[in-house]
Amino acid sequence: MSMVQKTIEGAVALVELQRPPVNALSGDLAAELSSVFNECRDPAIRAVVVTGRPHFAAGADIKGFQESFDAGADGKLAPSVADAVADLEALEKPTIAAVHGFALGGGLELAMGADFRYLAEDARVGQPEINLGIIPGAGGTQRLPRLIGFQAAKELVYSGRHVEPSEALDLGIADRVHPANEVLDRAMADAAEWAKGPTLALAAAKRALAGGWGAPLQEGLSVEAEAFATAFGTADAREGVAAFIEKRTPEFKGN
């Protein structure tokens, strides 16, 4: 039975984890997520929302860790989850994680693969792996400091504590906080607006921002120049310039 459901609304793909009761991230679920995220490369899909209910993803499947210990395998689960996170992050279109309930451990790592995180007021996020005698293994020690700063990330990883939405917003983990019964609708509505935009220019902006982040200035400027040239050559760039000159709203086609 499928553990991931993908539905299309207009040009937005909604990807929903469906592994009751808490969407624990097993190797099989991670592999299915990777497959679905790769399907979302389809140019007809111009934005993606990822969610899970009643919990986004409460973390890795701890039973899977025990099976790895018993089999003498070291950390086989983490790479598969890391691959799913990377596949989400690599999508060249806007992505939003709509977080209900728990997004802990691998769940938060998955959410950090999205461009934006919208948290429900009942959400709790964190990297509690230290309480199991391990550390984040799907990008948590690398993406979290880039998102909220080194010292704040260190404290969360060392303590393993759960973070409430108001603090998550202050730290920069969350981009928006909404009532639980509204968060998915808000994410879908915003994704639909992104989907009306110049998709290839948004992809170029995403590449420039990610490729230049933390790089020396000249290297970052080179990444930006290449991305700008790509965007400048699109039909949407011609439409955007024409619409500006003609004082009308542009009609971007995503090409």
Which residues are identified as catalytic?
Answer: 109, 129
- Closest to 255 measured CA to CA, from 208, 201, 194, 206: 201
Q: Which residues contact 27 (CB under 8 A, 6 or more apart)?
A: 61, 64, 76, 77, 80, 81
Q: Which helix (H) or strand (E) holds 119?
A: strand 116-120
The reply to whether omega before 198 is within 30° of 0 (cis) is: no
* Distance between CA atoms of residues 50 and 69, nearest Å: 31
* Distance between CA atoms of residues 183 and 51, nearest Å: 10
Give Cα 62 to chain centroid, integer Å.
Answer: 22
Report helix, strand or coil for 106: helix
- Closest to 107 measured CA to CA, from 171, 58, 51: 58
- The token pair at 224 is 């930006």
* Distance between CA atoms of residues 17 and 73, nearest Å: 26
